[in-house]
Structure 1
Amino acid sequence: MSSKHGNSSTTKPAAAGPAPPSIDRLTPVLERFRVQASLFHSGPLCGHQSFEAVPGRAFMHVLRRGELEVVHHGEQGLQRLHLSQPTLLLFPRAAHHEFFNPPVDGSDFTCATLDFDGGARNPIVQSLPDFIALPLNEIEGLEPALDLLFAESDQNRCGSRLLTNRLFEVVLIQVLRWIIDHPAQAQVSQGLMMGLSDPRLARSLVALHRAPHEEWSLERMAGIAGMSRSAFAAAFKSSTGTTPAAYLLDWKLSVASSMLRSGRSVKQAALDLGFADAPTLSRAFRRRTGSSPREWLAGIFASA
C-alpha cells in the first residue's frame, strides 16, 4: 500500500524570466533638441521681482530658503502660489511671472534661463504645463546635484559659471525623468511626456525618435509596443493627443526645424528624415508653420 504522501512531489514555481530591459526614454529626444542653461542669479531676492515673457526664454528658479509668493500670468489666467519650503520652479516657455519676497530678509535663490532648441515648438516644451513647482525633497537623487550646483554658484572659481550652467542642465534632466514617472503630479495630461510615461507606448516612441527616416506603419509601431493596432492607436491618441501618423510627421518637422537652425540645407534635412525630396518637405513645413523653410529661418534670425 503506497503512502499518500510518499509519491507526492513538490512543484517549484517556474523561475521568473529576466526583467525586460529598461529603455532610455529621454536621450533620443534631448540629443535631437538640446537645452542650454545660463545662470543669472544666486543669492537673496528681496521684495518684488518681475520676469518678462520673452519668446524662446524659459526659466528655472530654485528656492533654497525662505518664503515666496509667485504670481503667474499663464494660459489659465492669473495664478498665485505661496511657497514656504525649498522648491524648484520651472517655466518651460515664455511666461510673465512675479516674485514677492520678504522686503528685508529676502528669500535665497539660484536661477537660470533655459534655451530649449526649437523654443515653443520643442516637443518637450509643448507637452509640459506653463508652470511646475516641485518641492526639492520630492525628486529622489536630486540633492547631490543641487549641493554641487549651489557650491559652484556661490563662489567665483575657474570654470564655475560654465559648470553651474551644466549642472542646471543635469537638474533639468532629473526633473524631466521625475515628470515621466509622475505625470499626474506634474499635471501633465497629454503630449510627448505623457506618451513616454506609458511603458508600452514608450518602446514605440523611442524607436521612432531614434530613426524618423524609416518607414513607420501603424502595424510596425503597434508591434514594437506589443499591442494590437486598434489598441495602440487608441492608447496613443489618449496619451499624446494626436494620431501616430500625425505625431510622426510632426516629429519629423520638429527635427527638420532643429536641423535648419543648425545650418543644414532643406535638401539634406529631407534626405535624412525620409521625405521624398526637398519640395515635399517644404510643402509639409509650410502647412505646419504657414511659411516656407527659408521664410521661417529668416524670421528666426530676425528675432534673435
Structure 2
Amino acid sequence: MARLTESAAPPSLIVTPAADPTTGDATAASFDRLSSLLERFRVRAHLFHSGPLCGVTHFAAAPGRGFLHVLRRGEMVVTHQPHAGPPERLEVCEPSLLFYPRPLEHYFHNAPAEGSDFTCAALDFEGGASHPLARALPSIVVLPLAAVDGLQQSLDLLFAETDRLRCGHRVLADRLFEVVLLQLLRWLLDHPQQAQMPPGLLTGLADPQLARALTALHDAPAEHWSLAQMAATAGMSRSAFAARFKAAVGETPADYLAHWRLTLAQAHLRTGRSLKSIAGELGYANPSALSRVFAQKLGMPVRAWLAAQDLRP
C-alpha cells in the first residue's frame, strides 16, 4: 500500500489494492487500442539496476527519459522536489510498480537493514515530450504488483534474467520490461474508475465508443474526418459524441485530430522527411496548409522547430 504524508494532488496516480484486482471494466473495448500507438511511437526500456538500494538514491530527469521501478520486497520512502507535481513524500509499503512516464527528478530512501530489493529500467520515449502516451499519463503511477492480473508471470521471467548472468540477459530483460510496461498500460485502460486518470488520450481510449473513433483517427490520419464521420464510427449522435469526447479527452475532436496529425508530422520530420512528402498522408492538401497549422498550433514555423530540435530542414 502507498501512504502519503500530505494530501496528494493530480497529476499522480497512487492505487491501493482495495478493489478486486481481477475485475476489469465490464464495458472495456474488445479491440486493440494500443498497438498502433506503440508501433508509431515506441518506448524502449534499458535495465540499469537489480538488487538492493541503501541510503538515498537519486534519479535525475533527462529529456525524453522515464523510469519503471519494480520494488520486489521491502518498504521505502520516495521524495520529489516541492511543487514538482506529485506528492513531496510517498511511503511505499508493499511490492509495487513505480512508473515515471516523463522526466521527473526523484529520490529513493532505504535503510540498509530494511532489505528493499529493486529491478529498475530507464525508459526512452520516442519523440520525447511529444510522445502521445507520455503526455497523457500522470507524472507518477504507483501500483501494487498484486493489483495487476497476470503480471506475476512476466515478473518471474524478468527476475529470472536479472538474478543471474547469462548470455543475452540484458537484452532479454529490456524486452521483458517493455512487456511489463504494456501490462501496466492495459491495466490503466481496463480500470478507468479505479485509476482516476485525468482527461486525456487514455481516458478516451478507456471509453469503448470513443476508443473506436480514436483508433480510427490514429490508423487513418489522412481521411477527411468530419464530426459526423467520427460520431458514426463511435456509433453515437454528433452532439453526444462531441460532448463526451470533450469531457473524456479534454479537447474537441477537431483539435485532437489536428494535434495527432502534428504529432505524426513531428515524428516524420525527425527522420529527415520533408513537409512535401508527408502533407498528403496526414490529410493536408499541400505542404503550405500543413505549415500554417504547424505554426498556429506549435507557435513556431517548421524551420524554427527543426532548429530547436538541432535538426536541419
Q: With structure 1 as the length reference, what TM-score do the two structures score?
A: 0.88
Of 51, 69, 72, the residue aligned with 1:61 is 69
2:164 is the alignment partner of 1:155: yes
Q: How does 1:107-256 map to 2 (within 5 A)?
A: 107-256=116-265
Q: With structure 2 as the length reference, what TM-score do the two structures score?
A: 0.86
Of 34, 44, 58, the residue aligned with 1:36 is 44
By relative contact order (CA 8 Å, sep 6+), the higher-ranking structure is: 2
| Cα drift, residue 51 of structure 1 | 1.2
Greater displacement, 292-301 / 178-187? 292-301
What CA deviation, in whole Å up to 9, does each residue of 1:21-41 have, x standing for no partner?
A: 821011111111111111111
Decide whether the 8 Å contact of 2:68 with 2:121 is kept in 1.
Answer: yes
Match of 2:32 in 1: 24
Distance (Å, rounded) in 2 between the aligned partners of 1:236 and 1:64: 39
Letter in 2 for 1:298: A
Q: Specify the structure having the higher radius of gyration (Cα).
A: 1
What count of residue pairs does the alignment treat as equivalent?
A: 284
Distance (Å, rounded) in 1 between the aligned partners of 2:163 and 2:207: 39
The ranges of structure 1 where at least 4 consecutive aligned residues each deviate by more than 4 angstroms after the TM superposition are none
Of 82, 89, 92, the residue aligned with 1:83 is 92
- Secondary structure of 2:187's counterpart equals helix
Of 279, 284, 287, the residue aligned with 2:288 is 279
Distance (Å, rounded) in 2 between the aligned partners of 1:296 and 1:155: 45
Distance (Å, rounded) in 2 between the aligned partners of 1:268 and 1:198: 34
- Secondary structure of 2:239's counterpart equals helix
Distance (Å, rounded) in 2 between the aligned partners of 1:242 and 1:95: 25
| Cα drift, residue 76 of structure 1 | 3.1
Letter in 2 for 1:41: H
Greater displacement, 239-248 / 110-119? 110-119
- Secondary structure of 1:201's counterpart equals helix
| Cα drift, residue 104 of structure 1 | 4.2
> Unmatched 5+ residue regions in structure 1?
1-18
Distance (Å, rounded) in 1 between the aligned partners of 2:100 and 2:137: 9
Distance (Å, rounded) in 2 between the aligned partners of 1:113 and 1:301: 23
| Cα drift, residue 170 of structure 1 | 0.9
- Secondary structure of 2:309's counterpart equals helix
Match of 1:47 in 2: 55
- Secondary structure of 2:193's counterpart equals coil
What CA deviation, in whole Å up to 9, does each residue of 1:136-168 have, x standing for no partner?
A: 010111111111111112222221111111111
Match of 1:71 in 2: 79
| Cα drift, residue 295 of structure 1 | 2.8
